[in-house]
Amino acid sequence: MSSIYRKSFFDMPKNIIYLDGNSLGPLLKGITEESERVINKEWGEKLIKGWNESHWMDQPVRVGNKLARILKAEDGSIILGETLSLKLYQALGAALDLNNERKVILTDSGNFPSDLYIAKGLIDTLNRNLELRIVKPEEVESSINEDVAVVMLTQVDYRTGRIHDLELITKKSHASGAVMLWDLAHSAGALPVNLEKSNCDFAVGCTYKYLNGGPGAPGFIYVRPDLIKKCSPTIKGWLGHKAPFAFEKEFRKAETIDVMRVGTPSVIQMSILEKALDIWDNIEMSDLREKTIELSEIFICEMEKKCPQIKLASPRNSELRGSQVSFFFDDGYAVIQALIDEGVIGDFRAPNIMRFGITPLYINEDDILNAVTCLERILRQDLWKKDKFTKKKAVT
């Protein structure tokens, strides 16, 4: 395994151990200069000419092709834009349209709540007697049957890091005649993903976590190439039109991945992401995954040895766990706040889960050992019981 440690590539604060890349990736060096270049040289000097001269309008597909190389997808199958929530809405609507004789959207209780809200909202909007069927994660495979129109799953559980088998479930879904839609929010940039090999129909995700695109970075949508011309977008935006600058009164859908465009791309934010993706040019995802597992195993071992009152919430089998390690603790919120106060940044998810992102691009074994030592001291000295750590903030 080649070294994938790239901390020198990041503009990280000093004396910080950052174990929250599963929520927001850190700033890469060169991003500040790139954003200033786009603002000053492209927007500032070219004004409206930037759309043509700086190729702003091409960004969503161009950046999508860079992401496609990370996710092992074909060029022209991924497009960037808007948010993950909106891209999920688009993908689910298109998936239902491809299988409109069936009425069930199958998902699991470990799915991100926003995905469930979006599905329920779409069901209400379509008014087609659709059903959102929610089962336990371990019951998904046995629940895929001929009633199911779409299987909609997040590959990695946002709380525990439990992994669904992307290729196996996709195969089972297709065998039953269901369309497969994956949310890769906690997979992209963290796990080896091969969308082409998986044969899944749709995938969506965000780019501000492991891909380090920054807060507000655009979401993405993948459509299997043979389905692109068959797709009918639920949200018909002007840039999804076959000839957007013809300004026709009726919608004619694009015959490329552009069909999943909606509105004007966020040029500055997308330029940041485009630059951030450069770091992946010489990184093998298999090497990243191997190092993630190695560091995670050290973390779990040290935690159970030094902090036995905190119980593992993630799967113990590393093959069933993503790039985060989670623990149960009733007062986990206060403990996380105490850790942050000491310069060790993780996060908390209700009701009692402490999450730690293991991101080997900028985390090494010393960071892991020092983080556990810090937590051990906080627990031993009851430092987390201070009033300032127990008051909930808006973002946990």
Q: Where are the domains of the chain?
A: 7-29+284-390, 55-281
Structural fold of domain 7-29+284-390 = Aspartate Aminotransferase, domain 1 (3.90.1150)
> What class does CATH assign to 55-281?
alpha beta
Helix (H) or strand (E) holding 212: none
Output the pLDDT for position 1: 58
The 3-state DSSP class for residue 181 equals: strand
**Residue pLDDT, tens place only, 290-341:** 999 999 999 999 999 999 999 999 999 999 999 999 999 999 999 999 999 9
Amino acid letter, 51 = W
Q: How confident is the model at residue 396 (pLDDT cuts 50, 70, 90)?
A: confident
Whether 355 is catalytic is: yes
Q: Tell me the pLDDT tens digit for each residue of 365-395.
A: 999 999 999 999 999 999 999 999 988 888 8
Catalytic residue among 208, 299, 348, 356: 208
pLDDT value for 395: 85
User: What are the two backbone dihedrals, phi and then psi, of residue 110, each rounded to the nearest 5 degrees?
Assistant: -90, 0
Q: What is d(CA 71, CA 196) in angstroms, rounded to the nearest whole number?
A: 8
Residue 217's CB is within 10 A of a number of other CB atoms, namely 24
Average pLDDT for the chain: 96
pLDDT tens-place string over residues 96-125: 999 999 999 999 999 999 999 999 999 999
Across 250-272, average pLDDT: 96
Cis status of the peptide bond prior to 351, with omega within 30 of 0 = yes
Question: What's the pTM value of the predicted model, to 2 decimals?
Answer: 0.96
Cβ-in-10-Å burial (0-12, 13-18, 19+) of 38 comes to buried
Inform me whether the pLDDT recorded for 52 exceeds 80.
yes
Strand 179-183, strand 311-312: pairing: unpaired
Same fold, 7-29+284-390 and 55-281: no
| Of 337, 332, 372, 374, the residue nearest 353 (C-alpha) | 332
Tell me, letter by letter, the H, E, C secondary structure of 216-238.
CCCCEEEECHHHHHHCCCCCCCH
Marked catalytic residue, from 112, 220, 222, 348 = 112
- Is residue 3's pLDDT more than 90? no
Catalytic residue, candidates 209, 261, 291, 321: 209
Q: Is pLDDT above 90 for 2?
A: no
Rounded Cα–Cα distance for residues 328 and 274 (Å) = 37
Amino acid found at 203 = A
State yes or no: is 209 an active-site residue: yes
Helix (H, G, I), strand (E, B) or coil at 339: helix
Starting from the edge strand earliest in sequence, which strands make up the sheet with 324-328, in order? 311-312, 324-328, 353-357, 347-349
183 tagged catalytic: yes
208 is catalytic: yes
- Contact partners, residue 374, CB within 8 Å, separation at least 6: 17, 339, 342, 343, 344
Looking at 162, 224, 275, 355, which residue is catalytic? Answer: 355
The answer on pLDDT for 243 being more than 90 is yes
* Residue 10: φ, ψ to 5°: -105, 145
Identify the active-site residue in 108, 115, 157, 183. 183
Average pLDDT over residues 32-50: 97
Q: What is the pLDDT of residue 142?
A: 97
